[in-house]
Chains A and B, each alone.
Chain A
Amino acid sequence: MNLENIRNFSIIAHIDHGKSTLADRLLEITDTLPQRDMKEQVLDRMDLERERGITIKAQAVKLNYRAADGKDYVLNLIDTPGHVDFTYEVSRSLAACEGALLVVDAAQGVEAQTVANAHLAIENNLEIIPVINKIDLPSADVARVKHEIEESLGIDAEEAILVSAKTGEGAKEVLEAVIRRIPPPEGQAESSLKALVFDSKYDAYRGVVVFVRVMDGSIGKGDKIKMMATGRGAEVEEVGVFSPDMKVTGRLGAGEVGYVIAGIKDVKEVKVGDTITELKRQAVQALPGYKEAKPMVFCGIYPVDGGEYANLRDALAKLQLNDTSLTYEPETSTALGFGFRCGFLGLLHLEIVKERLEREYELTLLATAPSVAFRVNKLSGDSLIIRNPSDFPKDVAGIEEPYIAATILAPSEFIGAIMDLCQTRRGQLINVAYLSEGRAQINYDLPLAEIVLDFYDQLKSKTHGYASFDYEHVGYRHADLVKLDILLAAEPVDAFSALVPKEKAYERGKALVEKLRQIIPRQMFEVAIQAAIGGRIIARESVKAKRKDVTAKCYGGDISRKRKLLEKQKEGKKRMKQVGRVTIPQEAFLAILKVEE
């Protein structure tokens, strides 16, 4: 195909600004899917994605379009995950494109993810077409939104396209703008192959399906190829395009987007951001921007029923097939038994993985409070990374913790509340700017550990849901932390240990034992709950002993109900964890997240 007639583009947006709905309209207009196959939001394939209204994995689809100029075009739409946890994936998807549609809700205006995604697009030198969506809403304010786009992103919004993805109004103009304003791909058809891997998925029958954008050269069946970062060689079995299901084609040429199957069984050998080249005529230099996705948030995941350990291990292995950014290693907790310390890109990633494990693999799991990777410098001069607070060594010279640069957008009346929140989370104010009348952008540097707890929930509640939030990692900084331990019936429960700021340790300990007192049910003996720092008890509560649990009457008409009550009682117990002599409900392990100070 003539490169002049190809356009590769992405849609980027804040969550709920209508990215998937707009994609649906574009698929419809181009007859990419017969009407009867249109499920709402075709591109969000996983049930979880549909339910949460987010995209977890990138998707690509090829649209055939005859434009107003009478010519036929191929438009490759590369959908990107919208969430901050997946920033690296987003940036690689964008690197596969020449342009992006920046969708902004006409009523909500620019939000934190709009800013973050737009910056990624700018870094990748993409042509950005602002699209103002939901203009059918009574509260739409196009002039204000245009102003915000110009103010916060420095993008000319004069020619923004006005759209209602819901009604379809303006959708055709979007396609015309893609053709008119986004440049066609450039590439050397005769050069040696360079194809960018922007995603991959694991197929139980075919092995790894690699999503590629060919930059130079071409790739086809029978070619011997090599992954430049991992060094893995392979022979191409099949290439094709997404329409939107996989469809075999001939060769994929420079500028084209599609998939490659090459008998690779392990997703770890195909890394997002890597470059595929020919084995015989290898490219001298890989495409820029490759880096390993590093997990930033860690937590222990344990089966509630110890007998499910092997199932959990198998399930994690299967999930990792499709999710290379998920890491896990075996871990043993004295309280929780055998489990895994898992690493995630962020909190949402953690939640999604846990939910998929429980839903798709029918496991009942317990996740410990999320933590970050602390860097501990020991007196001996050694330095180590601590992913689990209970591994905290004794001879500590100093601790460093990861920081993030947070971008928060909100109506300006909430500036005070947001600053209060960030301040209590040990934040350092970087900047406050006004985007438009009544809307502010606030930048803070914050310890990652402070946001992996309930920062986002708090932010939402303090701003009545109006604030949006995004962040990027900015490296390690000095931290003044101590290890807070919790003891139940005089036994330390390692899963409750946490590294907390020294000046907050006392308050946190008090709040935590009080919270646990409310959550831990009465047992057949009195349960002492203590908080300790370095062996010194700083707070104590107790759960009084239960004296009886007996039903006085059970006659002929009571038996059926009684059986159901006993079954319920048993079910309730199943969801609890036995720690030493004490039975603890699962929510206790999350209580550490929700403690108000």
Chain B
Amino acid sequence: MTAPAPGFGLYIHTPFCRQKCSYCDFNSHPGLESLVVEYTRAVSAQIKQVGADRTWPEVKTIFFGGGNPALLGVDGISTLLEACRRVFKIVGSAEISMEMNPEDARSGFLGDVRDMGFNRLSLGWQSLDDSRLALLGRRHDKAGATASIGLARAAGFTNINVDMICGLPGQSEEAWQAELNEAAGYEPDHISAYMLTVAPGTRLARQVETGRVSLPDERSVVRMYEQTRKQLTQESYEQYEISNYTRVGHDCRHNLNYWAGGDYLGFGAGAHSHWRGRRWWAVNGPKAFIAGIKSGDEISGHEDLNSRQRASERIFLGLRLNKGVNIEEIKAEFGFNVAEVYADALAELKAQGLINTGRMIALTEKGRLFANEAMSLFV
């Protein structure tokens, strides 16, 4: 039995943004743009250091995320991508992605990043309704969003994702349906359609608590979620993960590597790395990260997973995928017999109609709505 071809990806984090969106709980900070040059230098040094640690496999995907990577500027982005290229062997067919906000998607900048070798773009649309975009604290409007995809196409991008969120304050099921329809009408190659998460400590959480904004009820959000799949399927998108839809061949390979339990290196503030069961992560704050790189203690934590934990991660990550998780592979790799150890859990979930079993274990449509319930049985 052969293990699947392991992926290996690089993630480069930009912890800067122009303003914090109301729902955002990511490691992203407005007002620190003055640190950009120093930060870029630090990340570049980190790439060099880590690259020299050992012989790493060929890199199949690179992902620039944030925050807002555009704030690194063309020079910064280019410096870091070049650092990756000098240190790692990157396969010719590598998927190289960047997250971008519509307001940054100007044709000059798009052309520059395309020329550098970026071949996938993830556009942070979130919504196609001006009042909701304003409420969320986004800096673009609907016109900006819809224009950005045309500009990206014109710059030569043939693999474009747009992020959309359902369950937003004041959003009716009909409104979501219309927004989604419109988004699909622009024919992005990939759509990430998330249900809104109100993370504790965010501005949105406070607004909800104090009653200043009200969210659609749970029942309605569930219908939006179900509607999304129905609608996008009609538009010839295929759901391949809880929140992700693709047109043939445009699955995000970088993210697929995460869900397959693959190895990856993260660079920059707060970025996580995973290498054969060891996971480690850098300090979150940009300043602390810069100082850490100088003094050699940028890592703020690590964990070594035993084979049981690795197997359970493999299961809950794999369950996110529509195709599910291959339990024979888990047995071959970790000597862990899922069908035996979790016989009761599997029977229970099957009886509840949450999973299908066989060589692959996969969530059903209902199961995806209760994914945490199902996943929690395997940790």
Docked-complex contact B272 and A563, CB < 8 angstroms: no
Docked-complex contact B194 and A552, CB < 8 angstroms: yes
A-side contacts of B368, CB under 8 Å? 550
Docked-complex contact A566 and B379, CB < 8 angstroms: yes
Which residue of chain A lies nearest to B377 when distances are taken between CB atoms in the complex? A570
Docked-complex contact A566 and B376, CB < 8 angstroms: yes
How far is it, in angstroms, between the C-alpha of A4 and the C-alpha of B375 when the chains are bound? 76
Docked-complex contact A566 and B375, CB < 8 angstroms: yes
Docked-complex contact A548 and B258, CB < 8 angstroms: no
B242 at the interface (CB under 8 A from A): yes
Chain B min CB distance to A573 (Å) = 7
B369 at the interface (CB under 8 A from A): yes
Instruction: Please classify how large the interface on chain B is, using the bins under 10, 10 to 19, 20 to 34, 35 or more.
Output: 35 or more
Which residue of chain B lies nearest to A570 when distances are taken between CB atoms in the complex? B376
Which residue of chain B lies nearest to A549 when distances are taken between CB atoms in the complex? B372
With A547-B369, A548-B222, A550-B372 in contact, is A559–B317 under 8 Å at CB? Answer: yes
Docked-complex contact B370 and A569, CB < 8 angstroms: no
How far is it, in angstroms, between the C-alpha of A527 and the C-alpha of B52 when the chains are bound? 59
Taking each of A548, A559, A567, A573, which has the highest tally of chain B beta carbons within 10 Å of its own beta carbon? Answer: A548
Docked-complex contact A557 and B272, CB < 8 angstroms: yes
A-side contacts of B243, CB under 8 Å? 552-553
B-side contacts of A563, CB under 8 Å? 309, 312-313, 316, 379
Docked-complex contact B242 and A552, CB < 8 angstroms: yes
With A556-B264, A556-B266, A557-B272 in contact, is A573–B376 under 8 Å at CB? Answer: yes
Chain A, range 538-590, C-beta contacts under 8 Å to B = 546-557, 559-560, 562-563, 565-567, 569-570, 573
Docked-complex contact A569 and B376, CB < 8 angstroms: yes
Docked-complex contact A559 and B352, CB < 8 angstroms: no
With A551-B197, A560-B303 in contact, is A569–B272 under 8 Å at CB? Answer: no
- Majority secondary structure, A binding face: loop
Docked-complex contact A560 and B279, CB < 8 angstroms: yes
B138 at the interface (CB under 8 A from A): no
A-side contacts of B90, CB under 8 Å? none
A-side contacts of B303, CB under 8 Å? 560
Number of A-B contacts (CB under 8 A): 93
Chain A min CB distance to B165 (Å) = 9
How far is it, in angstroms, between the C-alpha of A557 and the C-alpha of B9 when the chains are bound? 13
The residue that B317 contacts in the complex, of A524, A553, A554, A567, with Cβ under 8 A, is: A554
Docked-complex contact B270 and A557, CB < 8 angstroms: yes
Chain B min CB distance to A565 (Å) = 8
Instruction: Please classify how large the interface on chain A is, using the bins under 10, 10 to 19, 20 to 34, 35 or more.
Output: 20 to 34
The residue that B272 contacts in the complex, of A546, A559, A567, with Cβ under 8 A, is: A559
How far is it, in angstroms, between the C-alpha of A547 and the C-alpha of B222 when the chains are bound? 7
**Interface membership of chain B positions 186-219, coded 1 if the CB is closer than 8 angstroms to chain A and 0 otherwise:** 0000000011110000000000000000000011
B-side contacts of A557, CB under 8 Å? 11, 266, 270-272, 281
With A547-B219, A548-B221 in contact, is A559–B194 under 8 Å at CB? Answer: no
**Interface membership of chain A positions 247-268, coded 1 if the CB is closer than 8 angstroms to chain B and 0 otherwise:** 0000000000000000000000
Docked-complex contact B313 and A550, CB < 8 angstroms: no
Chain A min CB distance to B27 (Å) = 8
Taking each of B9, B317, B379, which has the highest tally of chain A beta carbons within 10 Å of its own beta carbon? Answer: B379
B255 at the interface (CB under 8 A from A): yes
How far is it, in angstroms, between the C-alpha of A566 and the C-alpha of B377 when the chains are bound? 8
How far is it, in angstroms, between the C-alpha of A548 and the C-alpha of B374 when the chains are bound? 12
B-side contacts of A548, CB under 8 Å? 195, 218, 221-222, 225, 369-370
B115 at the interface (CB under 8 A from A): no
How far is it, in angstroms, between the C-alpha of A244 and the C-alpha of B327 when the chains are bound? 61
The chain B residues found within 8 Å of chain A, CB to CB, are 9, 11, 194-197, 218-219, 221-222, 225, 242-243, 255, 258-259, 264, 266, 270-272, 274, 279, 281, 303, 309, 312-313, 316-317, 320, 352, 368-373, 375-379
Q: Which 7 A-B pairs have the closest CB atoms?
A: A569-B376, A552-B194, A550-B371, A557-B272, A548-B369, A566-B379, A547-B218
A selection of 22 A-B contacts at a CB cut-off of 8 Å is: A524-B370, A549-B371, A549-B373, A550-B371, A551-B242, A552-B194, A553-B243, A555-B258, A556-B258, A556-B274, A557-B270, A557-B272, A559-B272, A559-B274, A559-B279, A559-B317, A560-B279, A562-B316, A563-B309, A563-B316, A569-B376, A570-B379
Given A546-B218, A566-B378, A567-B379, 7 extra CB contacts under 8 A: A548-B225, A551-B371, A554-B317, A557-B272, A559-B313, A566-B316, A573-B376
